[in-house]
A = this chain, B = another copy of it.
Amino acid sequence: MMTEIGQAAKQASRILRRTDRASKDAALLLMADRLLERKEDIQKENKRDLSLARGMGLASAMMDRLTLDDKTLKSMADGLREVAALPDPVGEVAGMWKRPSGLMVGRVRIPLGVIGFIYESRPNVTVDAAALCLKSGNSVILKGGSEAINSNMILEKILKEALIETGMPERAVQVVPTTDREAVRALLGLDQYVDIVIPRGGEGLIRYVVENSRIPVLKHYKGVCHIYVDEFADLAMASDVCFNAKVQRPGVCNAMETMLVHEKAAREFLPEMGKRFQKAGVELRGCPRTLEIIPYAKSAVESDWPAEFLDLILAVKVVSDMDEALDHIERYGSNHTEAIITKDYNRSRRFIAEVDSSLVLVNASTRFNDGFQLGLGAEIGINTSKLHAFGPMGLEELTTTKFIAYGDGQLRD
C-alpha cells in the first residue's frame, strides 16, 4: 500500500512542479471554504476520535489538542487563506550570470518533490502541512497520530475534493489510511519516491524517524535555550526578557531553559529576578553561587544543564566571564536559540559571531524563534541540523534550486 502511495505522490509532484500560482491559490481558497461548509461532517468524525480517546483515558491536554471545535476550524480556514496570500517561491530566479564561454547560467527555485510528514495528535496540522506543501509545489504524504485517524481521513477527503474541483492532481495530498505503526517504517523506506521527511512531535518519535529513515530528515530533537545576562546588561530589560522567555509559554521549544548570569551582575540582578520567578511559580535550580544569593532555589544537578524542561522550571548559573557562558552554551546547548542581554557593543558582536545556534538574539526574548515572528510568513517546523535549512522552515525552505543554462552551441574544450 505504501509503495502505491509513494508512486502516486511522485506522479502528482510531476504535475505540481509546473502548476502556476493562480491554480494553487484557487485550490487553497476553495479548501478554506469547504472546511467551513463541511463543518458538521468534520465534527462528526472528530467526535468519533474524541470518544475513542476518552475511552482510552487520554489526558485532557491531549483531548484539547484533538478537538476540532468551531474556533479551530475557523483558524484552519484562515491559515489556508494566509498561505494563499503568500508569494509563490517556485520559479524565482536566484541570480543569473554570464560565463566567459558566453553561456548564461542561472539558478531557479523548484519544489523538493515529495514530502513525508509524520506528526502526533493535532488534526489541524494535517491542513497546515498540506497547505504549505501544495503552495511550494510539493506533494505530501501525511502520517498523523492514530488517535486522530477519523478526523484526518475526513479532512483528506475534503481537501481532495477541492483539488479535483480546481483541476489539481488529487493525489497531491494523501493521508496514510491506517493506524498501523508499521506504515511509518514503510514510509521511511520509500527513498525512491519521497525526497524529504519532516517529523513533528516528541523526542521519541523524532529519534525513531531518524534511526529508521533512508530518506533525509529535517528535524529538531529539543530546544535547550539560554539567555546570558552580561555584566553590562540593562537589568530591567534583562528581567523582562528572561521572564517573557520562561513564563509566557513554558511548554514550547523556544522557551528559555537555562539563565546564565555574569558574576558582576548577579548580586544586583538575581534577588529581584528570583522573586519574580518565584511569584510566577517557576522552580529555580541553581549552581552553588546562585544558591548563595537566592538560597530558596533548589540545588541544580548535572542533568539539569542539558534538560529541556518544557515547564515552569529554570536552571540558573552564575558565570565568571563571557567565555564561561559561551563554553556552557557550546557544551549543553541544542543549537536552537540563545540570547545575550548587554549594552556593550563588542560583546553583542562576539555573541552573534560565536554562538552556533539557528537564531542568536541581542536584547530580545528567545520566544521569537518562529517562522511567523521572523517574517517567513509560515512555518512547517524548526531544523536544528545545519543541512538544507537551519532554523524555522517556511515556504522557501520547502524548495531547492536547480541550475539552468542558455547557450548557442557551447562545447567543452
Contact = CB atoms under 8 A, between A and B. Distances in A.
Instruction: Please classify the interface of chain A as helix (H, G, I), strand (E, B), loop, or mixed, using the class held by over half of its residues.
Output: mixed
A283 interface: no
Contacts of A365: 410-412
A299 interface: no
Contacts of A410: 241, 363-365, 368
Contacts of A214: 210-211
A248 interface: yes
A353 B18 contact: yes
Identical chains in the assembly? 2
A374 B105 contact: yes
Interface residues of A, number: 68
A375 B359 CA distance: 31
Nearest to A97: B375
B353 A405 contact: no
Interface stretch (A25-33, A78-86, A141-149, A386-394): A386-394
A72 to B, nearest CB: 20
Interface string A363-405: 1110111000111000000000111111110000000111111
Interface in A99-147: 99, 101, 103, 105, 108, 110, 112-113
A409 interface: yes
A269 B51 CA distance: 70
Interface string A323-360: 00000001000000000000000001000111011111
B409 A241 contact: yes
Contacts of A330: 14
A69 interface: no
Most buried by B among A17, A216, A368: A368
A405 to B, nearest CB: 4
A403 B374 contact: yes
B216 A359 contact: no
A215 B249 CA distance: 33
Given A210-B214, A402-B357, A412 B367 contact: yes
Interface of A: 14, 17-18, 97, 99, 101, 103, 105, 108, 110, 112-113, 195-196, 210-211, 214, 216, 234, 237, 240-241, 244, 248-249, 330, 348, 352-354, 356-365, 367-369, 373-375, 385-392, 400-413
8 contacts: A112-B387, A237-B409, A244-B411, A248-B412, A359-B404, A360-B402, A367-B412, A391-B402
